[in-house]
Amino acid sequence: MSRALTTQSDVEVALNGYVTPGEDYFNRGAVSPGLSISNREQREKRPSPIPFRGPNAESLARMISNARKPGRGRKKIGIRDRICCHQWTWFTMTMATGGVANVLHSIWTPYRADWLWYIGLIFFLFNICLFVTNCILITMRFIMVPGSFMHSFLDQMESLFIPAVVVSTATILINTCEYGIPMTGPWLQRTMECLFWVYTIVSVVASAGMYLILWSTQIFPIHTMTPVWVFPGYPLLLSAPFASTLIAANELVSNNPPVDRLAIAMCAIAVQGTGFLISFMICAAFIYRLMTQKLPRDMQRPGVFISIGPSGFTVAGIVSLGQQSHVVIPDSFQGSNHSVIIIRLLSTIVGLWLWGLSVWFFLVSVGSLWKYVRPERKMPFQMTWWSFVFPNTALVTATLALATALGSTGLRICGCVMAAVLIVVWVLVFATMLKCLWNRELLWPKELEED
C-alpha cells in the first residue's frame, strides 16, 4: 500500500511506482515523486511547481482598501466595504432557489394540487428578486473596486463560479416556461423559444470560453481537485431540461401555435450530451484524486455534491424528452413507424443507467459528511453550502421523471420525500446564511478590520 511522501528522502526512496504525495509536499514546491535519481540534473533544471493558493483574499482586500475615498483617514467598515466583498459564488443561491421551484412544479404535474403550484410560484418570484439583487450588488462591486472584474476571472476559486450566473438564468427561464406560459398568451411562448436558442449559444460559448481562460491563466494541482471543476460545464447541462419544459408547456396550452419541437429536442440532446461527457471526464479525475489524496478539506467538502448534478440533469432532460417523443417525432421518422416506441424505451433505459450513477454519487457525497455528525467537528459556512441543494434538485427531478416513464408509484413517493427533505435543507442553508451575514462572517473584509 502506498503512503504519503513528506520529505525529499522519501521521494528518492520511491524509485518505482507511484507514492501519494501529501499536501504539504506540494506547498513546499518539491519535485514530482515519479522522477528517478538518475534524472537529477534534469530535475534541477526544471522550475519548481507552483504551490496552490486559495482565494486571493489579500489581493481583493487591497483593491477594496485602494478604492476607499482618500482624505478621511481610518474609518470603520461600512456597507460599501461589505458590498465590495460580493462574489460570483452568491449566484449559487439563485441556482438552488430556482431548482426548488422546478422540483415543486415536477411534483405538481402528476397531482395538480393548487397549494404546490402556489408554493413553487413563490419560490420562482423570490428567486427573481434574489437574482436581480445579486446582479446589482456584483455590478456595484465592479464599479466601486476598479480591477475587481478582471480579478474575478483570475482568482482560482471565484473564477470557477462565474458560470453560476448563466445557470441561474437557465433556472429562471425554465421556471418561466412552467409557471408563465400556461398563464399568458402566445407572446411569452415565442419569447421563450427565441431565448432557448440564445441560451444554447451562450451556454456553449460561456462553457468553452471559461475553460479556456482557466487553462490559460490558472494552475490547479490534483490534490486540490473537487467537482467544482465541473462548474464551467454546468450551463450545458440545463439544455435538455429547458427544452423538455418548453415543449411540455407548449403541449399543455393547446391554443398556442406549436414550437419547432424536433429542432429544439435534437439541439438540446447534442448540447446536453456534450456537457455530460465533459462533466463525466472531470468526475473521473475526481475519483482519481480521492484514491490518491483522500476526501477534500472541510471548506471544500460541500463541493462533493456537485458530482450528482451532471447525471441527474441528463436523466431529467433525456427521459422527459423521450416521453414527449409522440409530439416531437414526426410519423415515419427515419423510415420507421415504431420510432416513438423505440425512443421512449431507449431514453428510459439510458435514464435508469445514469440515475444509478447519480444515486451512487449522492451516497458518496452524504457519506463524506459523516465526521460532522460529532459535535466537536464543524464545517465552516460558505456560499458553496448551496451545493447541498442545487445538484440534489437534479436527482429529485430525475427520480420523478423516471417515475412518470415507468408508472412507478414507489419512485414517485420516493421523489416526493426527497423533495420535502430538500426544502428543509434549503431553509436551513438560507437561515445559516442570514445568521453569518448578521455575525459578520459573510460579506465582511476581515483583512481591512485587522489593519
What letter would DSSP give residue 300? G
% pLDDT > 90, the chain? 54
Closest CA to 157 of 436, 383, 439: 383
In this structure, of 22-36, 191-205, 410-424, the range with the lowest mean pLDDT score is 22-36
pLDDT at 120 over 80: yes
Angle between helices 339-367 and 390-406 (to 10 degrees): 140
On the question of pLDDT at 10 being above 60, the answer is: no
- 3-class DSSP state for residue 449? helix
Residue pLDDT, tens place only, 405-444: 999 999 999 999 999 999 999 999 999 999 999 998 888 8
Q: How many CB atoms lie within 10 A of CB 324?
A: 22
Region 350-377: what's the mean pLDDT?
A: 90
For 117-124, what is the mean pLDDT? 95
Q: Under a CB-based contact definition with an 8 Å cutoff, are residues 230 and 163 in contact?
A: no
| % of the chain beyond a pLDDT of 70 | 81
Task: Convert the pLDDT of each residue in 72-84 to its tens digit.
Answer: 445 677 888 888 8
Give the pLDDT confidence score for residue 219 in this predicted structure.
83
Is the dihedral angle over the CA atoms 169, 172, 174, 177 positive or is it negative? negative
Q: Whole-angstrom Cα distance, residue 87 to residue 142?
A: 10
Length of the chain: 451
- Mean pLDDT, all residues of the chain: 83
Residue among 417, 200, 267 at smallest CA distance from 409: 417
Predicted TM-score of the model (pTM) = 0.83
At residue 17, the pLDDT reads 36
Residue 336 pLDDT class (50, 70, 90 cuts):
low
Higher pLDDT, 243 or 2: 243
Q: Is the pLDDT of residue 139 over 50?
A: yes
* 30 pLDDT more than 90: no
pLDDT for the residue numbered 377: 77
Q: Residue 437: what pLDDT?
A: 92
Can you give the pLDDT at residue 176?
96
What is the pLDDT, as a whole number, of residue 154?
87
Higher pLDDT, 133 or 14: 133
Mean pLDDT over 273-282 rounds to 94
